[in-house]
Structure 1
């Protein structure tokens, strides 16, 4: 029994005071059976039928024609930029409020990331500031290789505004949907926007392949180019022949099997994460100065639920609640530190409103995993209630 619960990404039953984590892997018997079948098939490495099936199933889920399974979402962003012809001297527009991988992918190509601030309500790329940034870059004669909007914490960016702005400027869009599988905006699934989109299956994401990602697109040529580069740019001849620099970016057949099992369980995982968000909404509903980030995004997948605290109205700071929960072995995390504040990007150009810095100062991400048990959820709720009662 203990082994089974550890496989499922949960603490053993006799550790009632064990850690409650933000978003640990949620796996169990179905994943075990898929992996075992893949091992017994003999298709261990490097590729195999599980990869082919996983690509088809993910493409169908997000409404795309083509997909290529990769070792990470970061690899997908890198390949997408290469397929679009990104080169040294180009610029790539990146939200400042995101994980560093989005900007790193631009750096891998020799391009320069330009950071644009977010909407304060959602944390997603601010379309008005994006338009301003593209105008400034165009006047300066800079070649913008791509815009990389990020679907923050599983809430799709405002593509109704972003896509026309980019089309008018003649700039392609690569949707960073790493956090957003299962989310929907205006009837369209996350990863269905832009020339290409990238998903992540890292260990803390909605579904996981341990480590992995997927690039999707309706453009067969772009996907073929990415697949070619992801397999060391090997030419289709009996010996090893290479005309271009390639990368070892493919997902393994075994991990694809794990992903297929996870994908079958996705809808149930979404239900549980949305239930956690609803619980937090009720807990903080009557608390002055506290709101949920992207509270009105009905189509969000609720990968992670974050609150935003106005210290003057609430009488306490997000960091105060974080310390209270940490003392009870409950993990929290600040909202992403803006990339323009990261030392590695200290000299990068940026178009800012201050929204991302305020969210970093006042935001707190709470346990949101689909594998969180009812007992663990009750522990978190009780700890938050105790904190609020003390104030």
Structure 2
């Protein structure tokens, strides 16, 4: 497989195609070469232009590659034109992520969500490689043409399947809503783990609740939401902790829409525990990507607590000066704790901060009944006021 990246001048461009390579390996694919194209704007027909397309073709032939993978999303026409020009299957980042999700989904809900996203993606690409839709010659001197009727039937079938899948997901969403209302009636404090994929959310989840959720050093190790009760002491009591799917740069909009039921856990949370891979040099961009998705799903206003994970992988000169401080996220100072979920560093400090947030929420609920307008987020913000503001 040849990896292709197109630098259009955006600040988050991955010049080494490192993340795309990790995604390919996660899907069970083996990259054999990488190539970068630089353009001011995508070519309408081939995305990279004919000259660079010829270069990609020669590189693929030299390495014996059997597939081309683009780091950007391709239009159906661009994908079809590239395949004709290169003589090889061409796929993009969107389909790769969908394939990984299809491989990893375990729950009924997760499989439904992946199926919906894949169907919505493929519905625009019915004419991509469908040579079997060409009619055979028939009649007296008649020449067969493209099978328009067959394409229409396939589109109708996919449309009907999309409709059924949406209805089944709506049912799942109603069931989740019932479960959330039950938790609300019990006045449970709800915490959702969010963060960039492979930041260590599942490892932290296991460390906090002593669970056995699947955790691995790979992208999208967890797709299905897992919720457990976390006991935080006599005063705070038990809270609900949910591990959600990781976010990634250029997460396909179809997946954001399809995973709305799962991501609803983040929308309805009282607190987002935002896990960051402190050892990744691109962690600031990863935080920004997570914030973008939170805005898309309507969870941007939920209070956050940052956990800068994997400090055991930092060189000594980059270790934090203090175990906790605040970090600016979109103009707001957010409490931050440094630690390592794998080594157990910072977990006690994190549990204490979560307990303070739960107690603050309970106190605000009591005061609201007395007529006060103090909110849970206002109380949680005071947790950080005694922290030393230290930049990493």
Band of TM-score, shorter chain: under 0.3
TM-score by length of 2: 0.28
- Structure showing greater Rg: 2
Larger RCO: 1 or 2 (CA < 8 Å, sep 6+): 1
TM-score by length of 1: 0.28
